[in-house]
Structure 1
Amino acid sequence: MPHSMISDYSKRLQARILYLVGPPEEVTLENRIFNSMCLIAILVSAVQIPFNYFTGLKMTGLLFGVLLLALAVLYYLSRFKNRASLSIAISVITVNLLFGMVYFVSSGISGASLMTFTLTFFLVMIVSPRGQYIWWLGFNLLLVAALVLTEYYYPELVPNMYPDRQSKMVDLSATYLTSVLVIFFGTLYLKNAYNREKQQGEEKTRVLEVMNTEKNKLFSIISHDLRSPMASIQSYLELMKDIQLPAEQKLQLEAELLQMVNNTQDMLYNMLLWSKTQLQGLTVHLSPVNVYHAVMPVLEINTSLITNKGLHLETRIDQTLMAMADLNMLQLIIRNLIGNSIKFTAPGGHIFIEASRQGKECLITIRDTGTGIDAKRAHEIFSLKARSTFGTSNEKGIGLGLYLCKEYTAAQHGRIWFENNADQGCSFYLVFPLA
């Protein structure tokens, strides 16, 4: 059989088992274990029915048939009706009582009943909540003690049901083999489940530690970068109070302060959005959005920055282009990308914005003739590890904008990437589904 066919069959088998046991994201570990144990017990009972019948223990085979039906009902309640706690309690009592009846029709202590009770208790301890352990232990011990004492004082109630010595040997050997296999696979399943949960817990811990470290670095940068514009504004106001500046110098200082305040405002806005995302999660409202009407207000807000820096802006946007997106998120992404182009493009440079249809998708391109992106930083440009650098006019940010762009684009089922241009600068690409 080809390797690809074996692999495909293995994947289908794993998917089927996962469905029968329950997906981890929907079913708790304890419930998955109980469902697994039910399936194993159903399989064991299905084997025991014909086995006991042909070894002469017809009544035992009948009781295993009853057990099979009971287990099937309990499994259905647990897996498909979300009544796992009730199913566990009923199954423990039912199985023990049924095995108590089996004790009297399978030669009592001379048969395989005690091994069966041992196996049953093992399964009970696996699936039961921690707070019930002592109760099920007492129940098992009392039931077995009652059965053994009954046989001791009333041996006639427990006749020898084996037709010959060979049948007894086969029954004991088969019960031992079944018990060992169930304990082996049950323990293996438990260890794998424990290791899997442990690994997931460790991975979550590592992720939280990394995020906490990045958050601390981010706040440190913010606290540092906020001092600069606030100090400049304070110095300017004190200067205006004490000295009468020439009109030309006053206009120059005001332009510089305006740019600084705008950059600080963008930084705080990104920070507030990121904080809201961390606390409340992303809330996305997808609807048909006219790309032209979404982009133009962002350009109008940045007109003064583009003019003051002497940049040339060119747009080529299909005014009928409709994308399936969240308007506020889309404008945030466009604003950050345009802000970066303004920041890293030297006076006299060009910024190009284009939006067009590409098959069943909308492609938005923001290209500039700026400094481009260092290849060494390319792998971290969309992460919190990215550290902002000074722009061509000493503009400063915190490196959070592109991280938000990546997160918000993915939330809208879009894609974002960048390429350094062959001549100068870089190009950012956004793709969203057409409305």
Structure 2
Amino acid sequence: MEVQIYNAILVIIFFIGIIFSISNLFLGNQALVWSSAIAVVLLLICFYLLRVKNAYKLAFYISSGGSYPLLAYAFFYNDGINGPNFYMFLLVHLIILSILKLKFHYVWTLINMLFFTGLFYIGLYHEEWIPKNYVSKEAVFLDHVLTYFVSLIGISILINSIKRFYAVEKEKVKEKSIELTQINRSLTKTSAQKDKIITIISHDLKNPLQSIIQTLELMDSGELSEEEIKFLRQELLKTTNRTYKMMENILEWSSFEIKNMAGREKEMLVKELVEDTVEILKVIAKQKSIQLEVNYHKNPLVYLETDRLLLIFRNLVQNAIKFTPAGGLVTIDLNCLNEQLILEITDNGIGISADRLSNIFAQDIKSTYGTEQEKGTGMGLHLCYQSAHKLNGELKVDSTEGVGSSFKLIIPTGINR
């Protein structure tokens, strides 16, 4: 920013030098005309060094170092202490301080004080050394007023320029701060999305993998006949393939979610969409001796984010299985009414307490345990609730402790889009 201020200062002083050259020519002071002309040439050299050669420091030291000898010259040829040159000392000092680093202020302040004190002493005690150039009081008045006005205007322009530069820089800092805040929010959001995805992956893959492990342990126990082992191998292959396919879908959805990409909608029949997932869930339910019943009252065509719908479907059914004891029943009802897909999962499990029911969809990571001590966090229902809203739908729950629960998802089919 100092370079920008210095650039503006050079322009301001250049015009001041032109004004003084004209005024001194008008007043008939040839010596000061030459000093003003030298100052203008010096400024042009500094401007060239700054803009063309990018030599900011050299330009500054030439202009600052040359200003005091020129002021001393002008003092001697402008009637010493009777002339207006001391106004210029303040202007020059202000210019130097405005572009110098703080640690150099004291040095240049001392230089200014020494020049001023020395010249004032000479003007007061050695007046004979100074030639008389004023021819009338009118010339004195005009020179003082003009120099004072030019110095005052120069100081005003300089201060306004500095304030404007600082205002611009402040605005840039503000914009940068807003940008960094947005980046920080984006990173926080991305981090939250990653946490959500990890939760989804662990939640949706844990039960199928446990089912596969239990099947392998059963096959390895030596208590099964060859025919039973052959049957289990076939079922294991089916379960593994379905789990792998489900994992691929989750990972694909995760990639879209992290990148916040659109265009994930697909057109599919609901039965075709959920049937592979249903088969995996049936295996999980069977291992707990739970009956999983699926009723396709209608098989509507939907156009929506199918991965998000499957996420809700898996979580709700897995939760129902988790909180239903052995010998229980989990029912899945799929229907369509007024272009609304209605998915209802009902169980006769342990139900939900009234206190827990009031904030069942809150982002409250709290350990919960199923009927066989399956550990969970409660995050799955929060993700289902969020996903339902992203599908422009709603998720409802009705539960009685000790009787069972019913979750109902209602979302637009999206066909008449």
TM class, shorter-length: 0.5 to 0.7
Q: Could you give the per-residue CA deviations for residues 273-332 of structure 1, whole angstroms, max 9, x where no partner exists? A: x7xxxxxxxxxxxxxxxxxxxxxxxxxxxxxxxxxxxxxxxxxxxxxxxxxxxxxxxxxx
Structure 2 CA distance, aligned partners of 1:234 and 1:158?
Answer: 99
Change (3 A) 1:124 1:162: same
| Deviation of 1:250 (Å) | 5.2
Tell me if 1:152 matches 2:163. Answer: no
Q: Which amino acid aligns with 2:268?
A: A
1:347 to 269, 281, 294: 269
Q: Match of 2:35, SS?
A: helix
| Deviation of 1:63 (Å) | 0.4
Structure 1 CA distance, aligned partners of 2:129 and 2:17?
Answer: 25
Where do 1:116-135 residues align within 5 Å?
116-135=88-107
Change (3 A) 1:55 1:210: same
Task: Tell me which residue corresponds to 2:335.
Answer: none
Task: Tell me which residue corresponds to 1:370.
Answer: 303
Structure 2 CA distance, aligned partners of 1:392 and 1:234?
Answer: 19
Structure 2 CA distance, aligned partners of 1:231 and 1:346?
Answer: 25
Q: Which amino acid aligns with 1:136?
A: W
Change (3 A) 1:348 1:221: closer
Structure 1 CA distance, aligned partners of 2:31 and 2:183?
Answer: 63
Tell me if 1:229 matches 2:201. Answer: yes
CA contact (8 A) 1:56 1:163 kept: no
Provide structure 1 residue ranges, at least 5 long, that are not aligned to the other structure: 1-28, 275-332, 350-368, 373-388, 400-421, 426-435
Q: Could you give the per-residue CA deviations for residues 80-127 of structure 1, whole angstroms, max 9, x where no partner exists? A: 211111111111010111111110000111111100111111111112
Task: Tell me which residue corresponds to 2:162.
Answer: 190
Change (3 A) 1:233 1:263: closer
Q: How many residues matched?
A: 276
Tell me if 1:261 matches 2:248. Answer: yes
Q: Match of 1:370, SS?
A: strand
Change (3 A) 1:223 1:423: closer
Q: Match of 1:186, SS?
A: helix
Task: Tell me which residue corresponds to 1:46.
Answer: 18
Q: Could you give the per-residue CA deviations for residues 223-262 of structure 1, whole angstroms, max 9, x where no partner exists? A: 1221221343343232112126574685256335423334
| Deviation of 1:263 (Å) | 3.2
Q: Which amino acid aligns with 1:254?
A: N
Structure 2 CA distance, aligned partners of 1:198 and 1:390?
Answer: 46
Q: Could you give the per-residue CA deviations for residues 384-429 of structure 1, whole angstroms, max 9, x where no partner exists? A: xxxxx96343389999xxxxxxxxxxxxxxxxxxxxxx9745xxxx
Q: Match of 1:346, SS?
A: strand
Task: Tell me which residue corresponds to 1:251.
Answer: 238
CA contact (8 A) 2:75 2:85 kept: yes
CA contact (8 A) 1:229 1:261 kept: no
Change (3 A) 1:198 1:36: same
2:140 to 155, 168, 187: 168
| Deviation of 1:341 (Å) | 3.2
Tell me if 1:93 matches 2:93. Answer: no
1:104 to 76, 79, 91: 76
Q: Which amino acid aligns with 2:85?
A: S
Change (3 A) 1:125 1:75: same
Task: Tell me which residue corresponds to 1:25.
Answer: none
Change (3 A) 1:35 1:393: same
Tell me if 1:393 matches 2:310. Answer: yes
| Deviation of 1:133 (Å) | 1.1
Structure 2 CA distance, aligned partners of 1:67 and 1:98?
Answer: 8
CA contact (8 A) 2:265 2:304 kept: no
| Deviation of 1:135 (Å) | 1.1
CA contact (8 A) 1:346 1:393 kept: no
Structure 2 CA distance, aligned partners of 1:270 and 1:260?
Answer: 15
Q: Match of 1:148, SS?
A: helix
Q: Match of 2:269, SS?
A: coil
Structure 2 CA distance, aligned partners of 1:390 and 1:423?
Answer: 17
Q: Could you give the per-residue CA deviations for residues 343-372 of structure 1, whole angstroms, max 9, x where no partner exists? A: xx33389xxxxxxxxxxxxxxxxxxx8249
Structure 2 CA distance, aligned partners of 1:168 and 1:93?
Answer: 28
Structure 2 CA distance, aligned partners of 1:164 and 1:112?
Answer: 15
Change (3 A) 1:130 1:80: farther
Structure 2 CA distance, aligned partners of 1:347 and 1:393?
Answer: 13
Stretch moving more, 58-67 or 145-154: 145-154
Q: Match of 2:52, SS?
A: helix
Q: Could you give the per-residue CA deviations for residues 188-210 of structure 1, whole angstroms, max 9, x where no partner exists? A: 11111112211221222122123
1:55 to 27, 38, 42: 27
RMSD of the TM alignment (CA)? 3.2
CA contact (8 A) 1:88 1:128 kept: no
Compute the TM-score of the two structures, normalised by the length of structure 2. 0.59
Task: Tell me which residue corresponds to 1:415.
Answer: none
CA contact (8 A) 2:212 2:240 kept: no
Structure 2 CA distance, aligned partners of 1:53 and 1:194?
Answer: 38
Compute the TM-score of the two structures, normalised by the length of structure 1. 0.57
CA contact (8 A) 2:81 2:124 kept: no
Stretch moving more, 242-251 or 204-213: 242-251
Provide structure 2 residue ranges, at least 5 long, that are not aligned to the other structure: 217-231, 272-301, 313-382, 388-413
Q: Match of 1:106, SS?
A: coil
Where do 1:215-364 residues align within 5 Å?
215-243=187-215, 245=232, 247=234, 251=238, 254-264=241-251, 267=254, 340-342=264-266, 345-347=267-269
| Deviation of 1:60 (Å) | 0.6
Task: Give the ranges of 4+ consecutive aligned residues of structure 1 lying more than 4 Å apart after TM superposition.
Answer: 268-271, 395-399, 422-425
Structure 2 CA distance, aligned partners of 1:269 and 1:96?
Answer: 68
